[in-house]
Each structure stands twice: as structure tokens, then as C-alpha cells.
Amino acid sequence: MDRNSIIGFVLIGVILIGWLYFQNLNAPPPPPKQDDKVNEQKIKDSLNQVQQNQQKQTTQQDTVKKTGDTTRVQQPVSEKYGTLFGKFEKGEDKVLIVETDKYYAEFSTKGGSLIKYEVKGFKTWDGFPVQLLYLNKGGELNLLFNSTEGKLINTKELYFNSAYKPWERVNLTGNNEYKVVYEMPVDSNGAKITKTYTFKNDSYMFDIEIGMENSKSFISNFEYQLAWENSLKLTEYRSDAEGSHAQAFAEMGDELEVLDVTAKDEPVKSDLNGQTNWVSSRIKYFTVFLIPDGRKADGSYITGNYYDLPNNGHEKDYSIALKMLVKNDRSEKHKFKVYLGPVDYEILKSYNMNLQATMRFSLDFLVRPIAQYAILPFFLFIHKFISNWGIVIIIFSIVMKIVLTPFTRYQMKSMKKMGELQPKMNALREKYKDDPQKQQQMMMKLYRDEKINPAGGCLPMLLQLPILYALFGVFSSTIELRQAYFGLWIHDLAIPDEILHLPFKIPLFGVDSLSGLALLMGITMFIQQKMTVKDPKQMAMVYVMPIMLTFLFTTLPAGLNLYYFMFNLLSIIEQYYITKKGKKAGEEEAVIEQQKAVLKNKGKK
């Protein structure tokens, strides 16, 4: 192996370190867009008032807490909600069950909110149905606004009227739809709030319509927010790996705003005004979208916080909201669509709203086309015939080996020529050892004269880099590969296949476990280099690079390491075959030369 091939391996390590590091960085959000000045000022005034009221209520609650006393003093109704909404603090908590082919959901008259949502066809790591809402944090899809009495209103804490009986059940089949209506009559003069849900059997998306009658009598600043106040519930075995994929998004016009909180002492906030297409919050495999239907929203508001969990885990908690201006104070209705389901590229793309933009990859401009248009379609096609995803990955490894064979052969020829040039190169080094610049010039002249590209040995490895990046993206966020079983100790190809847990973290790499497939990848890399590297000066890298990449890859998905292991194994077989064939050809050539020499000697006699 020539020096440039070693540099290629070093590049892999350096780029992977940078990649893993920059995965945790978050860029500050760009400055908010400027839209209609009147609307912007209304939104800003209302939001400031909401935040002031939130701080005021938090202070009031804190003053009534006593150390060691778990009793929480409740505010009087008139203090917290005022006369307009105080009467809705108490009511009958009636739960309505809606079940479709896609999900099981529960809605409550408290808030007219979604309080439970199980996604059918998916299980958590410990075998329970995937339930995406935290049951102890209250419902979602609530309205926030300032009342004309100066009170912060969150409808999550108030009761709506409903014609349904407690625990009434609705089962949708076929192409059926169903509507659920919740009403809050604010006063006797016709002022009221209405929430109407519409469900379809065969979709993760449902509709919600917000109706405001005589809103000027109860909403100040003519603005409210439709909010999803908590992140989705974690569903995977490793909260650190799942939490690292949690992000929030807002599509404002043609721009996608991305929020990613990375430290518990550094909360993030995005307060944007202007036409908003949708807002979203996601975890590794599931996501929620709030989408205005028809008229665009007037802005978005997103916050993010970072929390530590036991065993080095963590959770990112995002709150997302759409801002809506009420332009007709007598009667106005706003329609929205809510998507709550898997991060499935084909499903998200089918809505034609650019929802798939939330499936992000490192080096997105380079990696997305490879992952989206090559690797994932290939995987899905082969999986139609072979159910085991591990076998699919092995087939992909074989195909990639065949595709890259011309480049590998070019690499081998380049290495062979470099080996043949070693005597001349050593002579130049000795001749110009006191003049490095002249030595380099003569080396380059030698390469040109012999028609050798000194970087030729790096080409196959450089071509591997975007493939590895794309595979990481596919395994990290593709729902089809979630909990993909292979066999033996490998129960999930989308997460690291840990075979040994260490009581300490390895310096520099920060890992406290060892992956079986990463270890096999490192061993095959060592064997491959041992077969090709003959220069004693380069032997150190034969040992360093496999160890380095073993630890770097031990935290990556098992499927990626399976691919790399198989690719190395195939390369070893190829190298062995070529070496054996070359040796045989050399022996035959030696016999021919010997026979020529014998005939020549006979001729002289």
C-alpha cells in the first residue's frame, strides 16, 4: 500500500470524527422574516403578553410552595382564568375513542384534546404498542391566547361541551370518515370556541377546524396559537441515540428553519413571523406536523429544552405552535391538518407538502441523492423478495463490490507500479535528501514519465465515504429498517450491536461498549492491509487504522458495520484470487523464460 492509500484511510477517520462531532452542533436560527407590518406587530404584542403572563403565573405558583410540603395551593378561578373562562375549569372528563386501521386515539372533553395515540403495526423495544403521547403531561392540540381580561388562556386546562357519552367508541373501516365536535360557549351573546376533528380510516393525517364566534369579546390582539406542547414519547431502547435525532422544524415560505437543542443549559427558541407552511417536531422514527389548510399561518413559535436521563441518556423536549390572526371578529374558521405517524419517506412525500424535508442527512447536498434515489429504493426492491434485512445488506455489499471493482483494479495496478518504482524512488530520496523541494519535483517528474497517479490508491476509499454517510442516514431514520432482525446477536440493524459493555469510557473515542460487527470490520480491515502493505515503514498504520475505525464505528448502526465488514471480506477474497493468479502467471512466465534460455544454449552448441 502506497503512502497516499494510507492518507486515504486517515481521511476516513478524520472525516468520521468531524462528522460525529458536527452532528451535535446546532446553527443559530437566521433572523425572522419580515412580512406584513400590521400582522407582525399584532403577533409580537400578543406573544410578549403570553410570555409575561406565563412568567407571572409561574411566580404566583412558586410563592405558594413550601419546602417538604407536596400540597399545591390552587389559584382561585377568578384569578387564573377570569370571569369569562373560569367557569370552564370544572367539568365532566369524557373520553372518546377513535380507532382506524392506522391508529388508536383517545380524545377528552378536557381541552377538547388528543390524550392518547397508539400507532398500529409498531412496537416499542420492549414489545408494547408505540404510544406517542406522555399520559402525565396533558393533551395536545390546544389553543393559547390572551383573554380580554388579561389572562393567559390554555384550553388544555378547560372543559369543552360534547354530545358524546363517556368512553364512547368509534371504529372506522374502509373509506369512512367521522367528525367529532367540541364547543365552549364563552358567553350568552353567542361568543364561543369550536374544535371539530375529522378522521379518515386509511391515513395518519386527520383534520381539525377551529371556529371563533364573536372573538372580539374574549380574545385580545386578535391572535391565538394552535400548539403541540410536548415532544413525542421516546420509543427505542437507547434514548441517547433516539434523542440525538429529535429536532423541530418550521417551513416559512421556501425556507426550512431547523431547531436542535444540544445542551441542557442552552435552551433554544424560534419566534418567527410571516407565512408559515407547517411546523413539526420529530424523534428518530415518528413525527408530528401541524399544517394550516388553505390559508397560511401567520407565524410559528418553537422552544426546545434538553434533559438528562439515567445511564447517560438524554431527551430533547420541543414545543411547537402555529400563530393565527383572527381577521373577522364576528365569525371565522381556520382549518388545519395534523400528521402523527412514522417518518416514512414515501408517505411524507405523497402529501406534496415537502414534509420529507425533515428527513435530514449529514452533507445533505451530496448524501441525500445517494440515500434517497439509490440505496433506499434498492433496499426496498430487494426486500420484496427477501424478508431478512441483513441478507439485503449483504446483497448490497456484493453489488457495490462489483460496481467498484474497476476502481479497485485501478488501485491495485497503481500500487503495483508504485512498488516497481520503489528502487528509483529510493534513489531519488538518497540523491536529493538535502533538498526536499528538488526531491519532490523529481518525484513528480518520475510519476509523469511512468504515467502513474500517486493518488490512485485513494480512489476506492474516497468513493466509499458518501456511501457510508448515506447508509448511516438510511439506518438512522428509515422506519422500514427499524428493529430489523438479522440473526445471532444482531436483533436490530438500525442500532449498534453491543457485545461488551465496559465500566469506563475509552479516551479520545468516548465509547464504553464494543460492537461485534465493528470488531469484525476492524479485523477484516487489518487482514486486507496486511495482504497489501509490504513497506516496513507503513506497518504502523496497518495496526493503527483498524483499531481507530473499530472504536469509531462501534457506536454506528449494525447495518452499516455489516456492509463494511462484508465489503472488506469480499476485498480479501478478491485480493487473494488476484495474488494467486498473479503468482501462477509469474511461475508460468519463469518457466517460459527458462525454456527460452535452454533453447538458446542448445542453439549455441
Concatenate the DSSP letters of all residues of 440-461 into one string. Answer: HHHHHHHHHHHT--TTGGGHHH
Q: What is the pLDDT of residue 39?
A: 41
For residue 113, the surrounding DSSP H or E stretch is strand 113-123
Q: Does residue 220 surpass a pLDDT of 70?
A: yes
358-366, long-range: CB < 8 A, 24+ apart: 358/247, 358/249, 358/280, 358/282, 358/287, 359/477, 360/247, 360/258, 360/477, 361/469, 361/470, 361/472, 361/473, 362/19, 362/22, 362/23, 362/469, 362/472, 362/473, 363/466, 363/469, 366/466, 366/469
Q: Does residue 385 surpass a pLDDT of 60?
A: yes
Averaged pLDDT, 167-187: 92
CA distances from 126 to 123, 238, 460 (A): 8, 12, 41
CA distances from 328 to 47, 216, 222, 491, 570 (A): 20, 9, 9, 57, 69
Q: What is the pLDDT of residue 127?
A: 85
Q: Residue 449 has which C-alpha cell?
A: 514519465
Q: Does residue 168 surpass a pLDDT of 80?
A: yes
pLDDT (tens digit per residue) in 64-111:
333 333 333 444 455 788 889 989 999 999 999 999 999 999 999 999
DSSP for residue 28: P
Q: What is the pLDDT of residue 596?
A: 62
Nearest to 314 by CA among 238, 204, 240, 208: 240
pLDDT (tens digit per residue) in 60-75:
333 333 333 333 344 4
Q: Is 47 within 8 Å of 287 (Cβ atoms)?
A: no
Nearest to 113 by CA among 85, 86, 84, 144: 144
Going from the N-terminus, what domains does the chain have, and what CATH number goes with each?
3-18+377-589 (no CATH), 26-64+74-360 (2.70.98.90)
Structure-derived torsion over alpha carbons of residues 331, 334, 335, 338, reported in degrees to the nearest 10: -140
Q: Is 162 within 8 Å of 182 (Cβ atoms)?
A: yes
Q: Which residues contact 256 (CB under 8 A, 6 or more apart)?
A: 249, 250, 354, 357
Q: What is the pLDDT of residue 587?
A: 59
Q: Is 505 within 8 Å of 511 (Cβ atoms)?
A: yes
**Residue 587 backbone dihedrals phi, psi, to 5 degrees:** -65, -40
**Residue 116 backbone dihedrals phi, psi, to 5 degrees:** -155, 140
pLDDT (tens digit per residue) in 196-210:
999 999 999 999 999
CA–CA dist 406, 425 (Å, integer): 27
Q: Does residue 24 surpass a pLDDT of 70?
A: no
Q: Is 410 within 8 Å of 404 (Cβ atoms)?
A: no
Mean confidence (pLDDT) of the chain:
80
- Choose the weakest-confidence range: 32-46, 275-289, 304-318, 547-561: 32-46
Structure-derived torsion over alpha carbons of residues 481, 482, 487, 491, reported in degrees to the nearest 10: 160
Between 596 and 2, the more confident residue is 596
Query: Which residue has 497503481 as its cell numbers?
Result: 414
pLDDT (tens digit per residue) in 448-495:
777 776 655 566 667 778 888 888 888 877 888 888 889 888 988 888
Q: What is the pLDDT of residue 167?
A: 93
Query: Which residue has 415537502 as its cell numbers?
Result: 354
Q: What is the pLDDT of residue 530?
A: 79
CA–CA dist 469, 362 (Å, integer): 7
CA–CA dist 260, 389 (Å, integer): 31
Residues written for the chain: 605
Q: What is the pLDDT of residue 467?
A: 84
Q: What is the pLDDT of residue 577?
A: 82
pLDDT band at 37 (very low <50, low <70, confident <90, very high): very low
Neighbours of 122 (CB within 10 A): 17
Q: What is the pLDDT of residue 22?
A: 37
Nearest to 97 by CA among 83, 84, 75, 114: 114
Neighbours of 405 (CB within 10 A): 14
Q: Is 118 within 8 Å of 476 (Cβ atoms)?
A: no
CA–CA dist 231, 288 (Å, integer): 9
Q: Does residue 262 surpass a pLDDT of 80?
A: yes
Q: Which residues contact 276 (CB under 8 A, 6 or more apart)?
A: 250, 251, 252, 292, 296, 297, 298, 299, 300, 322, 323
**Residue 322 backbone dihedrals phi, psi, to 5 degrees:** -100, 135
Averaged pLDDT, 403-415: 74
**Residue 324 backbone dihedrals phi, psi, to 5 degrees:** -130, 125
DSSP for residue 79: H
Q: Is 484 within 8 Å of 435 (Cβ atoms)?
A: no
Q: Does residue 260 surpass a pLDDT of 50?
A: yes
Averaged pLDDT, 110-138: 92
CA–CA dist 195, 212 (Å, integer): 9
Averaged pLDDT, 356-385: 82
Residue 50 CA from chain centroid, whole number: 32
Q: Does residue 228 surpass a pLDDT of 70?
A: yes
- Choose the weakest-confidence range: 23-37, 91-105, 332-346, 412-426: 23-37
Query: Which residue has 374574549 as its cell numbers?
Result: 218
Q: Does residue 397 surpass a pLDDT of 90?
A: yes
Averaged pLDDT, 53-59: 44
Query: Which residue has 422506519 as its cell numbers?
Result: 479
Q: Which residues contact 496 (CB under 8 A, 6 or more apart)?
A: 241, 513, 515, 518, 554, 555, 556, 557, 558
Q: Residue 355 has which C-alpha cell?
A: 414534509
Q: What is the pLDDT of residue 276?
A: 95
User: Hey, CA dihedral for 280, 283, 284, 286, is it positive or negative?
Assistant: negative
Between 497 and 533, the more confident residue is 497
Q: Does residue 408 surpass a pLDDT of 90?
A: no
Q: What is the pLDDT of residue 592?
A: 64
Helix 389-420 × helix 422-431 angle, to 10°: 60
Q: What is the pLDDT of residue 442?
A: 81
Q: What is the pLDDT of residue 98?
A: 96
Report which listed range, 269-283, 517-531, 585-599, is most confident.
269-283
Q: Does residue 529 surpass a pLDDT of 50?
A: yes
Q: What angle do CA 374, 378, 379 make, to 5 degrees?
A: 120
Neighbours of 423 (CB within 10 A): 9
Report which listed range, 26-35, 211-220, 450-459, 464-473, is most confident.
211-220
CA–CA dist 206, 100 (Å, integer): 11
